[in-house]
Amino acid sequence: MPRPYAIWSIAQLEAEFERVQDEGDRQGLQALREELRLRTTKRSRQLLGLADRFAGSAAGPARPTQGAGGHNKHPQNQASGSRQSQPQGAAGLKQPQHQSAGSKHPQHQGSGPRQSLPQDGAGVQQAPPQGGGQKQTPPQAAAGPKQMLAQGGAGPKQSPPPCGGTKHTQPQGAGGPKQASPQNAPGLRHVQPQGGAGSKQAPPQGGVPKPTQPQSAAAGSKPTTPQATAANGSQPQGASGNRAVRDRPRLTPTEEQLNAVDQFKTGGSLKINAYAGTGKTSTLEFLAHSTGRRGQYIAFNRSIVNDAREKFPSTVNCSTTHAMAYRATPSSFKHDEKMTRRIGPHQLAEVLKLKRWQADKNHVFQPRSLGFLILETLRHFMQSADREPGAEHVPSHGSLTAASEKTLAAVAEFAVRGAKHVWKRMTDPQDVLPLGHDGYVKLWALGHPRIPADFILLDEAQDTNPVVLDVLRRQSAQMIYVGDRYQQIYQWRGAVNAMEKIDTDKSSYLTMSFRFGKPIADVASRILALLDETHTITGNPKIASRIGRVTAPDAILGRTNASTITALINSLIEGKRPYLVGGTGEVIEMLKGVADLKKGMQSTVPEFFGFNSWTQVIDFSKSDEGHHLTTFVNLVQSRGEQQLKWALEKVVSEDSCDIVISTAHKAKGREWQRVRLMDDFMRAEQRAAQAPPPREPKPPDPEETRLFYVAVTRAIECVDVPDSILDLME
Residue of higher predicted confidence among 452 and 202: 452
C-alpha to C-alpha distance for 711 and 594, rounded to whole angstroms: 29
pLDDT at 714: 96
Contact predicate 441/321, CB 8 Å: yes
Q: What is the pTM assigned to this prediction?
A: 0.65
Taking each helix axis as running N to C, give the angle between helix 367-382 and helix 405-426, from 0 to 180 degrees, rounded to the nearest 10: 70
Handedness of CA 159, 163, 167, 171 (dihedral sign): positive
Residue 694: is the preceding peptide bond cis (ω within 30°)?
A: yes
Give the model confidence (pLDDT) of 428-449 as tens digits. Answer: 999 989 999 999 999 999 999 9
Tell me the pLDDT band of 91, cut-offs 50, 70 and 90: very low
Highest mean pLDDT among 327-336, 356-365, 413-422, 584-593: 413-422
Task: State the Cα–Cα distance between residues 163 and 292, nearest whole angstrom.
Answer: 42
Q: Is the pLDDT of residue 564 over 70?
A: yes
Phi, psi of 308 (to 5 degrees): -65, -35
Residue 692 makes CB contacts below 8 A (sequence gap 6+) with none
Taking the C-alpha atoms of residue 698 and residue 700, their distance in angstroms, rounded to an integer, is 6
Beta bridge partners of 671: 166
Do 450 and 288 form a contact (C-beta atoms < 8 A)? no
Q: What is the band of 322 on the pLDDT scale with cuts at 50, 70, 90? A: very high
Give the SS3 label for residue 338: coil
| Distance separating alpha carbons of residues 386 and 309, to the nearest angstrom | 32
